[in-house]
Amino acid sequence: MKKLINLNTYFKLLLLIASATVFFFILYTSLYLYTVQEEQHFYKTTHSRYDNEVKSLFILNSRTPTATVMDVTFWDELVRFTKTKDNKWYNKYVSNEFQSYEADYIGIYDLDRKLLNKTRSSKIKSFDFIPKEMMTALYKSKFKRFYIKLPEGVVEVFGATIHPSNDPKKNKTKPSGYFFMARLLDASFFASLEDISSSKVSLAFSNQKIKAEDDFVTVGLNLKDWKNNVVSTLLFKRPFNLNYSKTKEILLIVVIASIINILIFIYYTKKWVYDPLKLIKNILETGSSNSISSLKKSKGEFGYIGNLFEENSNQRKQLEIAKQKAEESDTLKSAFLANLSHEIRTPMNAIIGFSDLLMDANLKEKEKIDYLKIIKNSGNSLVSIIEDLIEMSKIDAKQITPNYKGLDLEKCVAELYHAIKITIPKDKEIEFYIVKNPEILQGTIITDETKLKQIIVNLITNAVKFTEKGFVSFGYKINKQKELLEFTIEDSGLGISENYLKIIFDRFRRIEDNSTNDTTGLGLGLSITKAYVEMLGGEINVKSTIGFGSIFTFTIPLQFDQTINTNIQKKSISFSGNHENEIILIAEDDNINFLLLKKIIESKNHTVLRAHNGQEAVDICVENPNISLVFMDIKMPILNGFEAFEQIRAIKPELPVIAQTAYSSFEDREKILQFGFVDYITKPLDKEKIFELLDSIFMEINS
C-alpha cells in the first residue's frame, strides 16, 4: 500500500487507466456475454413462435379442402353413384365442378377398393396412386390426410368414407365407398404459403438436417404418409434481423472511451433497447395499441416486431368479428328453424287433425265439406312455404339468372290486373285499379317478364293481405333522364311502423303486432322480391304510415327491344277422335300420385293406361296407336320425362304430351314449355285445373 501511495501522479494515472481498463473489460465481457445470451434466448423464442405460427397456418391451409371432403362424403347422390356407377352423373356433378374443388385429383372407389371414376388436372400424370391397403385403415378412421411422393412431386391427399346425408358424423351407417381429393405441392402452392406466412417455402429430403443460420430462422414440417412415415420435409425460412452489433460496438467504445461515452452508451441503450423492450412487455401484458404504434416508430428489428404485433392484433380483431358473425348466424339459423317448425306444423296440424275428424261416420255433410276446405287450404299454405324456401335457396346458390326478352309492358300490366282482380276476397271492400301512365310507352322493352310479373304479384298480394277496406293500386312511370321504369304499388291498409321498415326486406322477418297476428308464412316473400328487383338491375323502397297504408316503389332499367319480331305460325295439333272416352297414358312411378291422377281422369269417363318409367311410356306409345294424350312425370327412372318425350315426339310428333312436375319455379315452367310440352301441371294436383286442361286440349284437337 505504501508503494502505491508513493507512486507519482503519472504512474497513478497509469494504474487508474489500467484499473479502469480492466474494469471496463470485465464490464464489456459481462455485457457481451449477457447480450449473446439474450440473442440466443430471443432466437429461441422467435423460433418457437414461428414454429407455432407455421403449424397453425399449415393447418388453416388444409382446413378448406378438409371441410370440402367432409361435406361431399355425406351426400346421398354420391352414395347412389357408388352403387349405380352412373358416369353421366359423375361427369355432371363432379367432373364438371372439378375446378370448384381447387384440387388436382379426385377419385372415387368402391368398398372393393376398385376405382369407379377419377378426374385429374394436367399437373398429375399418375393414374391410380392411392395405396389400396390404406383404405382398410380409412374404413375405420372415416377420414385421413396424408402425403404421397410421385414423379410429379409430393401430393397432399384427403380421403374420407362415403355415407348418406342423414349420417353427418358417419357413425350410423357403414361406408359405401371412398372419396379422395389430392393437390400437388407445386410452385403455386408454395407461393400461396409464402404470401400468408411471409416466408420462403421449399421442400427438402426427409433425412435432410435443418442448418441454423444467423440471418434466418428456419422451421421444418414433416409430411407423413398414411403409415406415419416421413415422405418429405416442408421448410419455412424467414429473415431473422435481430442484430446486436451496434450494441457490441458501443460496448467496445466504452472500453477505450471516457465516462462520457459510458453515459452516451447508457442513453442510447435505453433508447434503442430498454424502451422498445419495455413497450414489448407492455404489449404482451395489456395489448395496448398506443404501445404498438410507438414500437412501430422504432428503427430496425423492433419496428418490424411492432408491425408483427399490429398484424397479430388485426388478425385477432378479425377473428373476433368472424366469431361474432358466426354467433349471429347461429342465432338466425336457430330462429329460422324454430319459425320453420312452427309454420310447417301449423298447416300439418290442421291437415292431420281434420283428417282424423273426417273418419267419424256420424259427421254431417256440411261439416265434411268445411273440414275438406280447411285441409285443402292448409295444404296450399304448406306448398307455399316449401316453394319460398326452394326459391330462396336457388337465389343464394345463384342458380337463377334473368331471362331477358321483349315485353309489351302495357299488355303485361293489363293481364296482371285482370288476373289479380279475380283473386281478391269478396269479403274485402277494396277498390283495385291501375294508375294510368300519362306517357304511353312506345315499343317493347327488354326485361325478364316472369320475374317482373312475380315482383308485381308479390307486392300487390302483400298489399291486399294487409288491406281490409279502401284501395290497392299499381302503375308505372317513365324516367327518361335516368333511363328507368318506376313502378308504384300503393294501398290504404294497416301501414308499417318505422321499426319494421328497417327489417321488412330481411329474411325470415315478419311484421308481428296485435293487428297482424293472423298472418302466416316464413317472411321470405319480400326478400325474394328484393332479390328479383336487384337481379334485374333495379332498387326497391317502401314508405308507410300506421293507419294510412304503404307505398312500395321499385325500378328496372328502361331498355327498348331493337329486334324485329317475326310471327311464327303455331303448328296446330290434329287428332281424329271424339271428346269423350279417350285413352290417356299416365307415366308416373309413384303409386299414390298415379292413383290420384287416375281417379281424376276416370271421373271424366276416360280410359287410363300406366307406365312406371320413361322407357315403358315410349314402348306403350309405340304399341298403342289409340292413345290420345300423355301425362308425363318429369322425374322417373330409366328415362326421365324429357328423354322419354324426345323419343315419343320423334315417333308421334302430333301426340300431345303434358308434363307433370313437382318443380314449381318459373324457370322450371319455362324450360318445360320451351322443350315442347303442350302444357304442364304441378304437384300437388288441382282437380279443376286438370279438367280445364283436358277440355281445352280435346277441344283444340277436335276443332
Q: Which helix (H) or strand (E) holds 183?
A: strand 178-184
Q: What is the mean pLDDT of residues 480-494?
A: 89
pLDDT at 290: 85
Q: What is the mean pLDDT of residues 334-361?
A: 72
The per-residue pLDDT of the chain, averaged, comes to 81
Q: Flag the least confident range among 212-216, 434-438, 485-489.
A: 212-216
Q: Is 70 exceeded by the pLDDT of residue 7?
A: no
Q: What is the tens place of the pLDDT at every residue in 624-650?
A: 988 989 999 988 889 998 999 999 999
Q: Is 80 exceeded by the pLDDT of residue 531?
A: yes
pLDDT over 90 for what percent of the chain?
17
Q: What is the mean pLDDT of residues 471-478?
A: 90
At 208, the pLDDT band (50, 70, 90 cuts) reads low
Q: What is the tens place of the pLDDT at every residue in 220-272?
A: 888 889 999 988 888 888 887 665 656 666 766 766 766 676 777 677 777 77
pLDDT at 611: 92
CA angle centred on 44, ends 42 and 47, rounded to 5°:
105
DSSP for 428-487 reads SEEEEEEE--SSPPPS-EEE-HHHHHHHHHHHHHHHHHT-SEEEEEEEEEEETTTTEEEE
Q: What is the mean pLDDT of residues 18-43?
A: 74
Rounded CA separation 429/452 (Å): 27
Helix axes 301-358, 365-396, angle to 10 degrees: 160
Which residues fall within 8 angstroms of residue 688, CB to CB, at 6 or more apart? none
Q: What is the mean pLDDT of residues 312-336?
A: 77
Domains of the chain: 400-557 (3.30.565.10), 583-698 (3.40.50.2300)
Which residues fall within 8 angstroms of residue 549, CB to CB, at 6 or more apart? 467, 470, 490, 491, 492, 493, 494, 495
pLDDT at 620: 92
DSSP for 334-374 reads HHHHHHHHHHHHHHHHHHHHHHHHHT-TT--HHHHHHHHHH
pLDDT at 388: 64
Q: What is the mean pLDDT of residues 663-689?
A: 78
Q: What is the mean pLDDT of residues 169-184?
A: 91
Q: What is the tens place of the pLDDT at every residue in 131-160?
A: 999 999 899 999 999 999 998 889 999 999
pLDDT over 70 for what percent of the chain?
82
Q: Flag the least confident range among 313-317, 374-378, 593-597.
A: 374-378
pLDDT at 487: 92
Q: What is the tens place of the pLDDT at every residue in 377-434?
A: 777 767 766 766 666 666 666 666 777 888 888 888 888 888 888 888 888 888 899 8
pLDDT at 327: 76
Rounded CA separation 647/639 (Å): 10
At 570, the pLDDT band (50, 70, 90 cuts) reads very low
When computed from its CA atoms, the radius of gyration of the chain, rounded to whole angstroms, is: 39
pLDDT at 647: 92
Better pLDDT: 595 or 35: 595
Q: What is the tens place of the pLDDT at every residue in 153-175?
A: 899 999 999 999 888 888 889 99
Most confidently modeled range among 88-97, 414-423, 663-672: 88-97
pLDDT at 10: 39
